Structure 1
Amino acid sequence: MSSIYFYILLALIVGTFLPLQVGVNSKLADSVGSPLISAFLSFCVGTIALLSYILITGTPIANAANAKNASPISWIGGLLGAFYVAVSIVLLPKLGVATTVTLIIAGQVLMSLVMDHFGLLDVPIKEVSFARVCGAILVILGVVLIRKY
């Protein structure tokens, strides 16, 4: 199998995790009575899992010291992740899994087009084209259909 097909398959598999993550975090919020506590606990489990993987694989933890050289913008990833997890927990009972996830995906597609077009965060520039805009419109139409039906 070509490596590109492996990466496409991997992306699809990881994509299935999004609704699962929203669902299990929402169940945890029901148990603990708070979406914020649920998000916090989710990040604790993720942190433990990542640290375990680092230790098991022998990844040099000393490389973390290089983080001091990272630009200030590099540090907001954790904040964005925490906001995403907490808000998705709040949205799920109000909108349902399909609507919540498709709206999140629509937001991801729109921001991805902006980032590609302007090369934000030093990503390679890939200008917005008619076909890419049509793709984004189809995603938004998908959101509308899922929400309506």
Structure 2
Amino acid sequence: MKLLFIITAVVAGMMLPLQAVLNSALGASIKQPLFAAFASFLIGTITLFIALLIIKFDFYSIVQTKSAPPIVWLGGVIGAFYVWIVIVATPILGASLTFATLILGQMLISIMLDHYGVFGLPVVEISLSRIAGVLLILFGIFLIKKF
């Protein structure tokens, strides 16, 4: 079962550069990357709403979100910032360098989130092998930038 999630995550990861290129092309065509990010979220929101209808989601259960800590709502703000930056950075840096640097940032914060078990994550302490993995990503960025 874990292998299925790994494969699905790899496929989802493959979609991110494609999304960046498509969103960047939209931003370039209308000369407004911020609107391209908005459009991406709008289409994504409509898609998710349709998916909720398909699975017959109980919309009355939304009241349970009142018990969530307010900080969790920052996820939407972070997502908007991420998509906007990707739209702006991809035409300047290219897809490879953009996503290599994004992966570095993701790994840096992921290691810290795991180490402290933030929001109920299982605690996975920072180790030399994890630090080495991040350094290899940094080296990969150097190679992508250099060549």
C-alpha distance in 2 between matches for 1:30 and 1:7: 34
Q: Percent identity over the alignment?
A: 40
Give, as a single letter, the amino acid of the residue that structure 1 aligns with 2:104.
Answer: A
C-alpha distance in 1 between matches for 2:55 and 2:115: 37
2:43 alignment counterpart: 45
Shift in Å, 1:120:
2.3
Aligned residues: 147
Check if 1:88 corresponds to 2:86: yes
**TM-score (ref. length: structure 2):** 0.96
1:26 alignment counterpart: 24
**TM-score (ref. length: structure 1):** 0.95
2:6 alignment counterpart: 8
Q: How do 1:98-137 residues align onto structure 2 when only pairs under 5 Å count?
A: 98-137=96-135
C-alpha distance in 1 between matches for 2:64 and 2:145: 45
Q: Secondary structure at the match of 1:108?
A: helix
Give deviations 1:104-145, integer Å, cap 9, x for gaps.
Answer: 011001110011112223322110011111111111111111
Structure 1 unaligned segments of length 5 or more: list them: none
Structure 2 unaligned segments of length 5 or more: list them: none
Shift in Å, 1:82:
0.2
C-alpha distance in 1 between matches for 2:72 and 2:25: 31
Q: How do 1:56-67 residues align onto structure 2 when only pairs under 5 Å count?
A: 56-67=54-65
